[in-house]
């Protein structure tokens, strides 16, 4: 009788396992798997679209901010030119040369920004990092010229 109880218990465990397997298999039918995969793809596409929108918005805002900074630089250049007109001839020629260099660098920055084409977020981040570095250098050059001008 002990063997009979063991066989019944074993049989019950096997039956439970087979029933569970059948239920789980039905829940993961190929149609369910396709539906689940489709939902995942749809969600991934939504996230990608949002990331693209964020990237485009970042690009637009950044370009606007830089355009404003470049315009401020143009105003500074005009002010420096007007101020330089009052300098002595020797200082005036050297300062005019440096102002022209700043003006050209500022124009180059504007052209570089306008020439940037949409090349993906990773390239955009790299471009922004390099561009910010160049803009900082240009800003420092403006400061240095302003200090020299006051001497």
**pLDDT tens digits, one per residue of 16-59:** 566 655 555 555 667 777 777 788 778 877 787 888 888 888 89
**pLDDT attached to residue 151:** 45
Question: Is residue 64 very low, low, confident or very high in pLDDT (cuts 50, 70, 90)?
Answer: very high
Which residue ranges make up each domain of the chain? 60-150
Helix axes 121-150, 89-115, angle to 10 degrees: 170
Q: Quick one: which H or E segment has residue 118?
A: none
Largest CA-CA distance found in the chain, in angstroms, rounded: 121
Find out whether 70 and 135 touch, Cβ atoms under 8 Å: no
Burial class (CB within 10 angstroms; exposed 0-12, middle 13-18, buried 19+) of 17: exposed
């Amino acid at each position: 009788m002990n063997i009979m109880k063991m066989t019944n218990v074993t049989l019950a465990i096997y039956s439970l396992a087979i029933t569970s397997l059948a239920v789980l298999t039905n829940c993961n039918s190929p149609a369910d798997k396709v539906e689940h995969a489709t939902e995942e793809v749809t969600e991934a596409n939504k996230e990608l679209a949002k990331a693209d929108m964020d990237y485009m918005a970042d690009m637009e805002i950044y370009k606007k901010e830089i355009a404003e900074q470049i315009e401020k630089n143009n105003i500074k250049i005009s002010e420096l030119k007007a101020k330089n007109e009052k300098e002595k001839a020797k200082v005036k020629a050297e300062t005019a040369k440096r102002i022209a260099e700043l003006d050209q660098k500022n124009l180059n920055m504007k052209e570089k920004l306008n020439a940037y084409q949409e090349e993906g977020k990773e390239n955009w981040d790299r471009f922004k990092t390099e561009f910010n570095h160049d803009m900082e250098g240009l800003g420092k050059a403006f400061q240095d010229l302003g200090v020299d001008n006051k001497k």
